[in-house]
Amino acid sequence: MATFFGEVVVAPSRAGVDDEEWAEEAREETPEDREIRRELEKKREIDVLWTLKSGASTESSADQLFVCSKLVIAIGHNAAAFLSSFILDSVCWEIVGVVKLWNEWCRTSNSTNVLPTDSFCLFYRLVSDPTVLLCQCSCYVAEDQQFQWLEKVFGCMRKEGLQVTILSTCPVADYKTQESTLTLPSPFLKALKTKEFKEQVCCPLLEQPNIVRDLPAA
What phi and psi values does residue 90 have, to the nearest 5 degrees? -160, 175
Q: Dump pLDDT digits (tens) for 81-102.
A: 999 888 888 779 999 999 888 8
- Predicted local distance difference test score (pLDDT) of residue 56: 44
Whether 76 maps to a domain, the answer reads yes
- Predicted local distance difference test score (pLDDT) of residue 110: 65
Contact 44, 144 (CB under 8 A): yes
Q: Dump pLDDT digits (tens) for 182-218.
A: 788 878 899 999 888 888 888 899 998 998 999 999 9
Whether 124 maps to a domain, the answer reads yes
- Predicted local distance difference test score (pLDDT) of residue 35: 75
Spell out the residues 6+ positions from residue 100 whose beta carbon is closer than 8 angstroms to its own: 46, 47, 48, 49, 108, 109, 110
Whether 3 maps to a domain, the answer reads no
Whether the per-residue pLDDT at 112 is higher than 80: the answer is no
The dihedral formed by the CA atoms of 139, 142, 143 and 148, expressed in degrees to the nearest 10: -80
Rounded CA-CA distance 6/2 in Å is: 8
Work out how many domains the chain is built from and give that number.
1
- Predicted local distance difference test score (pLDDT) of residue 182: 79
Q: Dump pLDDT digits (tens) for 150-178.
A: 999 999 888 888 999 999 998 888 888 88
More confident residue, 84 or 1: 84
If residue 163 lies in a helix (H) or strand (E), which one and from where to where? strand 163-167
Whether 112 maps to a domain, the answer reads yes
- Predicted local distance difference test score (pLDDT) of residue 54: 41
Question: Which structural domain, as residue segments, surrounds residue 149?
Answer: 44-51+65-167
- Answer whether the bond into residue 116 is a cis peptide, omega within 30°: no
Whether 85 maps to a domain, the answer reads yes
Q: For residue 6, what pLDDT band results from cuts at 50, 70 and 90?
A: low
Whether 174 maps to a domain, the answer reads no
- Predicted local distance difference test score (pLDDT) of residue 163: 93
Whether the per-residue pLDDT at 29 is higher than 80: the answer is no
More confident residue, 186 or 137: 137
Whether 175 maps to a domain, the answer reads no
Whether 143 maps to a domain, the answer reads yes
